[in-house]
Chain A
């Protein structure tokens, strides 16, 4: 995706990324972490705001900084960077609430054609994982690079 995005910083392993969202609410530090799960090779995508005083991460805040497309493009850029380094990785993502999961689904739907060039994308239904389709409600999402 050739969309406008924020500059990214990461540590060596490319499992933690940071960027600064700029908008009407000011400059907000955002952190993206690919966290290990109970299965080797499956990573949980965590995303939140960094509290500049404590350094803690708040993953449930809605910062409303009027830059959701740019933030989404930045998160997608980290998915590319992460899976360049770990091409076999599975990435699991879900929202902290149903409405946030719906928001993620809308973002994925908007760029589905571009995403599916490089990734297998699945949505979680009560019956199991299905290939992601527009207009279907999912509880979570799963992606893996196509060259894996």
Chain B
């Protein structure tokens, strides 16, 4: 059960963990996603 509080919207587009986001984007360039699974 999740209560909705739209005051949290201010965090939606904000980069909270730049290091981790950079790692995720680097992973896309070097490793990519696992093969054989559905990608959007």
Contact = CB atoms under 8 A, between A and B. Distances in A.
B6 A38 contact: no
Nearest to B33: A90
Interface in A125-141: 128-129, 140
Nearest to A50: B11
A81 B9 CA distance: 17
Q: Which DSSP category, helix, strand, loop or mixed, fits chain A's interface? A: strand
A128 B10 CA distance: 35
Nearest to B19: A96
Contacts of B2: 8-10, 14, 17, 81
Contact of B21 (A7, A31, A44): A44
Given A8-B2, A39-B28, A46-B20, A142 B12 contact: no
Contacts, number: 124
Given A9-B8, A16-B9, A16-B11, A37 B37 contact: no
Interface string A1-16: 0000001111111111
Interface in B1-37: 1-17, 19-21, 23-25, 27-28, 31-34, 37
Interface of A: 7-18, 31, 33, 35-42, 44-48, 55, 57, 59, 81, 88-90, 92-94, 96, 120, 122, 124, 128-129, 140, 142, 144, 148
Interface residues of B, number: 33
A17 B24 CA distance: 20
Contacts of A36: 13
A126 B6 CA distance: 40
A92 B17 contact: no
A11 B12 contact: yes
13 contacts: A8-B1, A9-B5, A10-B4, A13-B12, A16-B9, A33-B14, A35-B16, A39-B33, A42-B28, A88-B40, A92-B24, A129-B34, A140-B23
